[in-house]
Amino acid sequence: MGFFWTIVTLVVALGIAWRYLGSYMAAVFDGRVRWLGWVERPIYRALGTSPEREQSWKRYAAALLVFSAVSILFTYLMLRLQGSLPLDPQHLGAVPPALAWNTAVSFVTNTNWQNYGGETTLSYLSQMTLVVQQFVSPAVGIAVAIALVRGLTRRDASTVGNFWVDVTRCMLYILLPVAFLAGIVYVGQGGVQTLAGPAHVHDALNGVTQTIARGPIAFMEAIKQLGTNGGGFLNANSATPFENPTALTNWLSIFLLLCIPFSLTYTFGKMAGSRRQGAALLTAMALIFGAWVGFTSYAEHQANPAVAAAGLPHQPTGNMEGKEVRFGDTSSALFGVASTQTSTGSADAAYDSFTPMGGFGLITGMMLGEVSPGGTGSGLYTILLFAIVAVFIGGLMIGRTPEYLGKKIQAHEVKLAGLGILIMPIAVLALTAVAVSVHAGRAGPLNAGPHGFSEILYAFTSQANNNGSAFAGLSGDTAFYNVLGGIAMLLGRFAVIVPVLALAGALGAKNVVPAGLGTFRTDNAMFVGLVIGAIMLVGALTFFPAISLGPIVEQLSHGRFF
């Protein structure tokens, strides 16, 4: 019953966010929101730009790529130099080069894959440097999505917006205020926020002494979820009580990581002048998400096979291995699905210890391409790629040139959409194949048997989708996994963003064809079905063989342990 009301309250809260955050975001990117103008204007002056100076898609993409490269370099240097910089109360030395590379790429690409244990590797200043990217990287993703929407909705246009302005507005007007308010709630519930260094405690009752890691945790937690980042201060992420102290903060985390990706469909509809267009994409996202929540929480409510075989077959509270008592089985599964399908990758439980079908729910959620609802910005632009493929298929069926929002979809656009969709599966499957073929890759997994393969497959699925969650038994902090993972994350981010911006440019240059009787409608149930069909078909065709070797074999191995 509790789980039912958890879902109901989330749906209500997300519905309100969809309507109001969605229209607020549209206003922000139209330049109609100005309450922080006194901060905004000096930034534009320092940058030597202004909202009136728009860029072609090529300049927009070039600015994005240069800015991201500079961000990676800056983050890398800060991690390498942390031993010589202030705010390092535990006197942690420099982060090794391969790990610093992986971490810098990870946070700049909105992945937040973590090959390090936060509390034993990073100084407070390094954590704060990563928080910078937790604001920047979602803003970059949202900017790309907005540029694509502009391409779809403008006519005969040569520009798609101003990258610097879009990113600045997103960080100032959307991410900063929401994250700051949420941070206060996290602290009120028990989240830690201090610069005072670790606490030393002694319990006179049992004689235990502990040195407890602390830090500026709670406010990082807020932007970690809101920006679908996922990288927490502490190694065990949202499972730790200092990051996620209560069931209420668990609910808040799920809300925060879903609110922007879902609401962007409203923003899209508003900018396109038709709320129904946004609602159609929202419906496709929500149906997939709902189905996965049902499946995965059912799976996690089942008994853990190893615990059952050890002599405890009756597990009324579900699979509790790797889960926290205050959250319980189904809420942890809901968190897991929300986190894997939004490219967040935060974890309030050990995903590695989920039941075989629970783990299947998590990894396949990412394999669908992070569209339900996907990451901040990346979810919207990826589902728009699928929408273009869907109208293309629909057009083939009825023998007409396909259109989307009145824009003719021709060979060039379909090629770009196809490229953007196929980069991720190619990266995942190729890199997984490399990893299982060489010794350095096979040395990684903690678990034996099919679960060991799942750990490797999960790692590259997560990184190429810029998700960042893990089957964390994998020892990822090796030169092999650090370097290969970095490549997966770069491909999954920028090899998708560039085709998306090219698509924005190509669509923006087109005129709008008025809708006629024969126009294929893109705001009804038929279209929602086609979009879901396209997503499922691509995901199933590319990944079914690989997923069979992991969770499916594991599920079918009744009575066998590895």
Partner 1 sequence: MLNHLRRSAVLTVVCFVVFGLAYALAGTGVAQVLFPHQANGSLTANGSTLIGQNWAATRWFHGRPDDFGPYAADPKKGISGGDNPLVANGVKGESGATNLGPRSKTLLEDTRILISWWHAHGVDPTTDLVTTSGSGYDPDISPASAFAQIPMVAKYSGVDPAELHRLIAKQVHGPQLGFLGSAYVDVLQLNEALAAAERAGR
- Answer yes or no whether residue 85 interacts with partner 1 by CB under 8 A: no
Residues 150-178: b if buried by 16+ CB within 10 A, e if exposed: bbbbbeebebbbbbbbbbbbbbbbbbbeb
Given a contact cutoff of 8 angstroms between Cβ atoms, the answer to whether 226 and 177 are in contact is no
Residues 231-268: b if buried by 16+ CB within 10 A, e if exposed: bbbbbbbbbbbbbbbbbebbbbbbbbbbbbbbbbbbbb
Task: Tell me the closest approach of the beta carbon of residue 156 to partner 1, in angstroms.
Answer: 27
- Answer yes or no whether residue 242 interacts with partner 1 by CB under 8 A: yes
Within residues 36-75, the interface with partner 1 by CB under 8 A covers 43, 46-49, 62-63, 66-67, 69-71, 74
- Answer yes or no whether residue 331 interacts with partner 1 by CB under 8 A: yes
When binding is defined by CB under 8 A, the residue of 11, 199, 540, 541 that contacts partner 1 is 199
Within residues 450-509, the interface with partner 1 by CB under 8 A covers 450-451, 454, 471-473
- Answer yes or no whether residue 535 interacts with partner 1 by CB under 8 A: no
- Answer yes or no whether residue 544 interacts with partner 1 by CB under 8 A: no
- Answer yes or no whether residue 131 interacts with partner 1 by CB under 8 A: yes
Nearer to partner 1, 1 or 411 (CB): 1
User: Rounded to whole angstroms, how far apart are CA atoms 259 and 201?
Assistant: 39
The radius of gyration computed from the CA coordinates of the chain, to the nearest angstrom, equals: 23
- Answer yes or no whether residue 312 interacts with partner 1 by CB under 8 A: yes
Nearer to partner 1, 120 or 410 (CB): 120
- Answer yes or no whether residue 255 interacts with partner 1 by CB under 8 A: no
Given a contact cutoff of 8 angstroms between Cβ atoms, the answer to whether 78 and 129 are in contact is yes
Within residues 346-385, the interface with partner 1 by CB under 8 A covers 347-350, 352-356, 359
When binding is defined by CB under 8 A, the residue of 84, 203, 517, 518 that contacts partner 1 is 203
User: Rounded to whole angstroms, how far apart are CA atoms 78 and 143?
Assistant: 26
User: Rounded to whole angstroms, how far apart are CA atoms 118 and 237?
Assistant: 9
Closest residue by Cα to residue 461 from 551, 354, 561: 551
Nearer to partner 1, 69 or 515 (CB): 69
User: Rounded to whole angstroms, how far apart are CA atoms 375 and 138?
Assistant: 8
Binding string, 136-155, against partner 1, x = CB under 8 A? x-------------------
Task: Tell me the closest approach of the beta carbon of residue 183 to partner 1, in angstroms.
Answer: 5
Within residues 257-286, the interface with partner 1 by CB under 8 A covers none
Task: Tell me the closest approach of the beta carbon of residue 234 to partner 1, in angstroms.
Answer: 5
Question: What is each CA distance from 310 to 13, 315, 320, 449, in whole angstroms?
Answer: 42, 12, 14, 19
- Answer yes or no whether residue 517 interacts with partner 1 by CB under 8 A: no
When binding is defined by CB under 8 A, the residue of 11, 16, 85, 201 that contacts partner 1 is 201
Task: Tell me the closest approach of the beta carbon of residue 182 to partner 1, in angstroms.
Answer: 11
User: Rounded to whole angstroms, how far apart are CA atoms 242 and 217?
Assistant: 7
- Answer yes or no whether residue 240 interacts with partner 1 by CB under 8 A: yes
User: Rounded to whole angstroms, how far apart are CA atoms 151 and 498?
Assistant: 14
